[in-house]
Amino acid sequence: MDGLNPLQTFSVWALPILFAITVHEVAHGWMAKRLGDPTAQRLGRLSLNPIRHIDPIGTVLIPGLLLLLGTGFIFGWAKPVPITWSNLRHPRRDMVLVAIAGPGANLVMAAMWAAVMRFALVLPAIWPPSLWAARPLLAMGSAGILINLVLMVLNLLPLPPLDGSRVLAGLLPGPWAWRYNKIEPYGLWILLALVATGLLGRILEPPVVAIQNLIFSLSRMS
């Protein structure tokens, strides 16, 4: 972000990234519990404590490197919340709902960060001495919107093991879903190839920008 040194940039992004990844995983576990599977709850994964969800590589190393290298593109992941398929009351249908819960939580958080930005914009007018706090709040709100929308759109891609693949597998006929899920061992490598070639950014940018503009419009910031 303009005018911020690397340490300040890292500080602005750290909280939104941790919240985005943590709440995303908790939403999966919470939905699974509502649909009959208490596995995540039993393992303590319905906690908002980020430590319970952090993956050293996906939550710390990858986002940190992308941020410090100034790539302009940030993504990451947490430890997946364990789901016991057989505990769900209607496994195929319920796995679709469990999968959608994570990206849905990111959309809600993007809206909440928009409210933070709106507050930061009006705060100096209400209390002029608060200008020192308004700028970092504005930057953090902007970061929160972007990271949540990126995670939402990324996870909705129909690429195993992303959430979008769980949705598609739940909608496909059984034999087709089985064949489709056989792609999963190669999913991470496909994702890394998309990142390395720049194709992932081109895929994600149009929907992320469109939803971001809609949020700004609805919150009267554009």
Give the per-residue pLDDT at 24: 94
pLDDT, tens digit (0-9, with 9 covering 90-100), for 109-161: 999 999 999 998 888 778 776 676 788 889 999 999 999 999 999 999 999 88
d(CA 15, CA 9): 11
Rounded to the nearest 5 degrees, what angle is found at the Cα of 211, between the Cα atoms of 94 and 143? 100
To the query of whether residue 25 is one of the catalytic residues in this protein, the response is yes
Residue 108 reports pLDDT greater than 60: yes
Give the per-residue pLDDT at 1: 57
Give me the catalytic one of 13, 17, 20, 25: 25
d(CA 199, CA 206): 12
Q: With contact defined as beta carbons under 8 Å apart, do 102 and 50 qualify?
A: no
Nearest to 164 by CA among 191, 145, 142: 191
If pLDDT is split at 50, 70 and 90, which confidence band does 56 have?
confident
Measure CA 5 to chain center.
25
d(CA 167, CA 100): 7
Nearest to 74 by CA among 16, 24, 137, 160: 16
3-class SS at 127? coil
Q: Which two tokens stand for residue 63?
A: 């986002």
Give the per-residue pLDDT at 2: 57
Q: With contact defined as beta carbons under 8 Å apart, do 133 and 127 qualify?
A: no
Give the per-residue pLDDT at 122: 86
d(CA 146, CA 152): 10
Mean pLDDT of 5-11: 72
Give the domain ranges of the chain. Answer: 6-218
Give the per-residue pLDDT at 164: 95
How much is the pTM?
Answer: 0.87
Give the per-residue pLDDT at 209: 95
* 3-state class percentages of the chain: helix first, strand second, coil last, to nearest 5: 75, 0, 25
Give the per-residue pLDDT at 134: 81
pLDDT, tens digit (0-9, with 9 covering 90-100), for 9-44: 778 888 898 899 899 999 999 999 999 999 999 999
d(CA 212, CA 150): 10
d(CA 216, CA 145): 10
Q: Which of the residue ranges 5-9, 60-64, 76-80, 196-200 has the most confident prediction, judged by mean pLDDT?
A: 196-200
pLDDT, tens digit (0-9, with 9 covering 90-100), for 170-197: 999 989 999 998 998 998 889 888 887 8
Three-state SS for 179-204 is: HHHCCHHHHHHHHHHHHHHCHHHHHH
